[in-house]
Amino acid sequence: MTSHGTGDLERRAWRSVFQDGLWDVALGITFLGTGLAVTLHLSRGWDYLLNALAVALSIAVFSVGKRHITIPRLGWVKFGPRGKQRRRNVVIVLATGVLLTALLRLIPSAFSPTPLVSALTVATLVWTVLSLMAAFWEFSRLYVLAVIISASFFAAELLGRGWPLLAGPAIVLAVGIAYLVRFLKLHPKPAPEVANANA
Who wins on pLDDT, 117 or 7? 117
Calculate mean pLDDT across residues 93-119.
64
> How do the domains of the chain map onto residue ranges?
12-198
- 158-190 per-position pLDDT tens digit: 998 889 999 999 999 999 999 999 999 988 877
Calculate mean pLDDT across residues 132-158.
90
In whole numbers, what is the pLDDT of the chain averaged over residues? 80
Three-state helix/strand/coil letters over the chain: CCHHHHHHHHHHHHHHCCCCCHHHHHHHHHHHHHHHHHHCCCCHHHHHHHHHHHHHHHHHHHHHHHHHHHHHHHCCCCCCHHHHHHHHHHHHHHHHHHHHHHHHHCCCCCCCCCHHHHHHHHHHHHHHHHHHHHHHHCCCHHHHHHHHHHHHHHHHHHHCCCCHHHHHHHHHHHHHHHHHHHHHHHCCCCCHHHHHHHC
* pLDDT band, residue 108 (cuts 50/70/90): very low
